[in-house]
Amino acid sequence: MEPTVGPPASDRVFIFDTTLRDGEQSPGASLTPDQKVAIAWQLARLGVDVIEAGFPLSSPGDFEAVQRIARQIRGPMITALARAARPDIDAVWQAVQDAERKQIHMVLSVSDIHIERKLRSNRRDVLRRGVEAVAYARSLCDDVEYSPEDAGRADLEYLFETLEAVIDAGATVVNIPDTTGYTLPNEFGALIASIRENVRNIDRALISVHCHNDLGLSTANSVAAVLNGARRVECTVNGIGERAGNASLEEVVMILRTREKSLGLLTGIDTTRLAEVSALVSRHTGIPVQPNKAVVGGNAFAHASGIHQDGVLKDKLNYEIMRPEEVGMGESRIVLSPRSGRHAFQFRLGELGYHLSEADFGRAWEQFLALADRKKDILDRDLEDIVRSTHNLASTPPPLAGEGRVGVVA
């Protein structure tokens, strides 16, 4: 269980899921309260440490969803987002106060770009506003998270000053957002290291990170932060979120699991539920998972190249660094295509019960190649037609049970 105050155990990385808040900010991804509660149940079963359930002041529906999640979900800490203003903070507290474990999360800009061009303010007034907001939130709730927005583009000395001040005011978590997805992994890792080195009271707060994917670096930046001492990662299922999205929960988790021996870091996630939760979020938000999506994409464990197929059939370790069962994806797939090799074609025929003589197999192979050049999907009935057109079968083929897409590796 995540500690209330202070740094976590050195090998434990906590997962903060913001699918229901930042993820829902994806265009067209609006969720009803019932859908939010359904996803929250599955996130709890998945084993996330924190669920950010919404932005209560934004609408009555979002307030209702956060409140229902706080009252019904047990296990994860329940939090919600507020701006650094009393009405926002009051709305979050009213929504989460019945949770078994609760937190108030607030955000306020820290970069000069945001302070001057968005807030039309100055550093001194913004810092004062942040400190007052944290102190007020802490008077209501024992756990308070402060996010200095756009920290990736902020002046370092002002960022350090801000973090020290809000920790002194009572923040138990400081979240470092790469709000615009601007930083490179080496830069973001160095930023976390510099915070640990230069913020005098950082040992009194947990360092969290929240990375966006504008340059496709959100997962890499999150991992770089963890390697430099951050111990909480804010992420979303399928990487959905504002603009190009957020760090992908399943990617971060499986990097830490797959490279556990070299990184020495653990999460509390039941990875066998990742595919199930991914599908649920995709269904409720209406945002499809791209086929080549890491970890949970439809092609993540599919092999179409003859060289790869031959290697996988000999030993899956040749081309799979994760087992599909680890993430709840079933089994690897051999997909027959013009790039498939004779080994994969023969293997699939054998799975269907066909055992051809060498001569008949040669003829079947030539027919398969000709068909594969013309047809995108090769079905089991196509293979049956090919086999029936050959002669001298070594055994009588059994009837086919269906005509699903070719190939599951046993």
Q: Which domains does the chain have, with CATH numbers?
A: 14-285 (3.20.20.70), 302-388 (1.10.238)
CB proximity list for 110: less than 8 A, separation 6 or greater: 126, 148, 149, 150, 151, 154, 158, 159, 162
Kindly tell me if the per-residue pLDDT of 393 is higher than 80.
no
Instruction: Return phi, psi of residue 365, to 5°.
Output: -60, -45
Short-list 28, 85, 99, 18, CA closest to 57:
85
Pick from 307, 281, 305, 296: nearest CA to 42: 281
Asked which of 91-100, 143-152, 246-255, 311-320 is least confident by mean pLDDT, the reply is 311-320
Residue 23 in tokens: 């993820």
At 131 the pLDDT is: 98
For residue 387, is pLDDT > 70? yes
* Rounded mean pLDDT, 379-408: 60
Structure tokens, 243: 């603009």
Is residue 45's pLDDT more than 80? Answer: yes
Please report, for residues 108, 146, 163, 172, the alpha-carbon distance to residue 169 in angstroms, rounded to integers and kept in the order given.
15, 11, 10, 9
Q: Is the pLDDT of residue 337 over 80?
A: no
Sequence-ordered list of residues with C-beta below 8 angstroms from that of 17, at least 6 positions apart, any chain: 43, 48, 50, 51, 52, 76, 234, 235, 236, 237, 249
Read off the pLDDT band of 358 (50, 70, 90): confident
Average pLDDT rounded to a whole number, residues 192-203 = 98
Q: pLDDT higher for 300 or 113?
A: 113
Crossing angle of helices 123-140 and 156-169, in 10° steps, is 30
Q: Is the dihedral of CA 162, 244, 327, 279 positive or negative?
A: positive
Look over the chain and give the mean of its residue pLDDT values, rounded to a whole number: 90
CA distances (Å), origin 323, targets 260, 317, 326, 327: 15, 9, 5, 8
Q: What pLDDT band is residue 1 in, cutting at 50, 70 and 90? A: very low
Rg (CA), the chain: 26
Any idea which of 119-128, 147-156, 349-358 has the lowest mean pLDDT? 349-358
The 3-state secondary structure of 334-397, one letter per residue = ECCCCCCCHHHHHHHHHHCCCCECHHHHHHHHHHHHHHHHHCCCCEHHHHHHHHHCCCCECCCC
Q: Which of 100-114, 241-255, 304-318 has the lowest mean pLDDT?
A: 304-318
And the tokens for 85?
């203003």
Tens of pLDDT along 14-24?
A: 999 999 999 99
pLDDT value for 391: 59
Q: Which of helix, strand or coil describes residue 52?
A: strand
Which of 337 and 5 is assigned the larger pLDDT?
337
Asked if pLDDT for residue 329 goes beyond 70, the answer is: yes
